[in-house]
Chains A and B, each alone.
Chain A
Amino acid sequence: MSKAQPGEPGDNDLILRICSADEVAFETLYKRYYPRLFRFVFRVTRHLDQIEEIINDVMYVVWKRASSFQPEARASTWIFGIAHKKCLKSMSGRLPGEHLELEDAIDLIPGVQDSGLQNLELEDWVSVAFSKLPADQRTVLELTYQQGLHYSEIAQIMDCPENTVKTRMFNARKKLKSLFPDFLPESSADNRGNPL
């Protein structure tokens, strides 16, 4: 489960209940966001060994600061905003290029054996592509295509102007085309197209 199913309480309702220290509501929200956050944190940080810690740091903030959530905002924007900050903090504490290899990380993550995680790394070419992009471009791609967010929401999450989000996406697209010309044929990101 990654999003509220019909008949289930919405994210905002759950956060409202968390304000009153409702642990059942918190567990529901945790379960709902765990897969999304897992993927997001993995995509952005590439640090398998810290995913759980980052997710728990994010959800800890949700628990502690639930009362500061503005009900008119989208819960996902708030939660991913926290996650983005935690990812940046985690990456800033690491040396460039330092990350745990998948084989070494498997033992550290509970329940990971026989899961789809190995496929995520080994069979998913997108994962390879992501590893070639800077973190800010990976974040924009992930939030756009996996989370389905509008660029204005991504700007809120990343705490930057909307045009910066568009530029990051533009650069990511350009880089992907140069890396995978066969998959994404060159369609001239720089050239103007011809009108029909």
Chain B
Amino acid sequence: MNTRQSSAYSGHDEIWLLIPWYANGSLGDSERARVKAHLQACLVCRRELANQAMLAKQLEQTPQLGISCKPSFERLMSRIHGEEAIKANRNSQTQDKAQWLENLNRWLFPHFTPKHLSAVFATGLLAIALALLFSGTPFNEIKTYHTVANSNSLDRFTTSDIRVIFADQVTEREIGKLIGSIQGNIVDGPNPAGVYTIRVADGMPLTQALNQLRGNKSIIFAEPALPQAGKPNGGGG
């Protein structure tokens, strides 16, 4: 063995590890030159290169998939649009609240000077005292019931719309996914009762969408937005 052969062969273990990336053509110039020099001296590595080239060829020959990605893309966009609609709605509600607080602050600030503090403090104390005084007295509980549907708004909806209430712990992302799963879009909501109105995509039967939603634990209510023809308009919740 001459010195040159010995030098090329000395890095055998290291070169052996690099052979797959020599075979796929991704090595940089210096690494490729080192592997090439070693291959001239090492029969075992040349055989291994042939094996790896064969493996690479087999992988390349794997049948190409003829799967259409269009339905998948539409589902993803439906999910993204659904989430964005929820976010926009929440932002709008937050802005409304912020505006209301700002107006209140604007009205209070000029009137709320230190000289009024004692009067405010006294009023507060009086309110607490009254509350304590009547705390033992049973009050008639006034419960406010909300209907899920507002009859004034029904004319905005179609027979492809579903009213949905999600469980409290469901995130925006999960809501987006669920809406995407029926290829739906949010057309209204959430209203103060947490009701979303979702329009199911053309081509998906309403019953199928309803069954799919009702089968999910994250959804506590799913009913058509409009009464279905031939069915009594029973309260669904």
Q: Report Cα–Cα, A125/B65, bound state, in Å.
A: 16
Q: Report Cα–Cα, A193/B43, bound state, in Å.
A: 7
Is B65 touching A115 in the complex (CB atoms < 8 A)? yes
Is A109 touching B62 in the complex (CB atoms < 8 A)? no
Instruction: Knowing A31-B69, A56-B76 are in contact, say whether A196-B42 is a contact too (CB < 8 A).
Output: yes
Instruction: Knowing A116-B64, A150-B26 are in contact, say whether A187-B48 is a contact too (CB < 8 A).
Output: yes
Q: Which of A35, A149, A194 is the one whose CB lies under 8 Å from B65?
A: A35
Q: Which of B60-115 contact A (CB under 8 A)?
A: 60, 62-69, 71-73, 75-77, 79-80
Is A124 touching B17 in the complex (CB atoms < 8 A)? no
Is A176 touching B55 in the complex (CB atoms < 8 A)? yes
Q: Which of B5, B47, B64, B73 is the one whose CB lies under 8 Å from A196?
A: B5
- Majority secondary structure, B binding face: helix
Q: Report Cα–Cα, A2/B43, bound state, in Å.
A: 37
Q: Report Cα–Cα, A195/B7, bound state, in Å.
A: 11
Please give, as numbers and ranges, the residues of chain B lying within 8 Å of A144 by CB-CB distance. 20-21, 24, 26
Q: CB-defined interface of A172-195 with B at 8 Å, one 1/0 digit per residue?
A: 010011000001110111011111
Whether, in the assembled complex, B54 has its beta carbon less than 8 Å from a beta carbon of chain A, the answer is yes
Q: Which of B1-42 contact A (CB under 8 A)?
A: 1, 5-6, 8-9, 12-13, 16-18, 20-21, 23-28, 40-42
Minimum distance in angstroms from B69 CB to a CB of chain A? 4
Q: Which of B51, B59, B63 is the one whose CB lies under 8 Å from A119?
A: B63
Is A39 touching B65 in the complex (CB atoms < 8 A)? yes
- Majority secondary structure, A binding face: helix
Is B67 touching A194 in the complex (CB atoms < 8 A)? no
Q: Report Cα–Cα, A59/B74, bound state, in Å.
A: 12
Please give, as numbers and ranges, the residues of chain A lying within 8 Å of B55 by CB-CB distance. 126, 145, 176, 184
Is B44 touching A187 in the complex (CB atoms < 8 A)? yes
Is B9 touching A195 in the complex (CB atoms < 8 A)? yes
Question: Chain A interface (Cβ within 8 Å of chain B)?
Answer: 23, 27, 30-31, 34-35, 38-39, 52, 55-56, 59-60, 63, 109-112, 114-117, 119-120, 123-127, 141-142, 144-146, 148-151, 153, 166, 169-170, 173, 176-177, 183-185, 187-189, 191-196
Question: Closest 9 interchain pairs by CB?
Answer: A193-B44, A116-B63, A34-B69, A150-B26, A111-B68, A115-B66, A119-B63, A110-B71, A145-B59
24 A–B contacts, CB within 8 A, in A order? A34-B72, A35-B64, A35-B65, A56-B72, A110-B72, A116-B63, A117-B67, A120-B62, A124-B62, A144-B21, A145-B20, A145-B24, A145-B59, A149-B26, A150-B27, A150-B28, A151-B26, A166-B17, A169-B17, A176-B55, A184-B54, A192-B13, A193-B12, A196-B5
